Amino acid sequence: MSDTTTAQFRQPNPCTNLNHRRSDAPVGHCPDCGGLVNRAFHRAGCPEAEHDSARRRRSAFCVNCGLQLIGRYR
C-alpha cells in the first residue's frame, strides 16, 4: 500500500560539541571526544609539537588525528 522509505539516522552522540552536527566541520576530529566529524581533514599522524600546542589549549583529543592528549580525571 505505502512504500516504505528507509533512512539512515545517526546514532545519538553524548558529546555536546557542535562539530558533530555540522556537515562542513572545520576539523577532522572532535576536540572533546575524539570522534571523526570530517573525513576530509583527517590525518594519520601529527608532529608532537602540534599535540603539545593542543594540550596547552586544553583539547582532550587532537583535532587532526583523534589521538587522546589528556587523560581522564576521576
What predicted TM-score, i.e. pTM, was given to this entire model?
A: 0.71
According to the 3-state scheme, what is the secondary structure of 5-47? CCCCCCCCCCCCCHHHHCCCCCCCECCCCCCECCHHHCCCCCC
Q: Which residue has the higher pLDDT, 74 or 47?
A: 47
Match 583527517 to its residue by C-alpha cell: 42
* Confidence (pLDDT) at 47: 92
* Confidence (pLDDT) at 6: 44
* Confidence (pLDDT) at 70: 84
Average pLDDT, integer, range 4-8: 47
| Three-state DSSP state, 64 | coil
pLDDT of 61 strictly over 90: yes
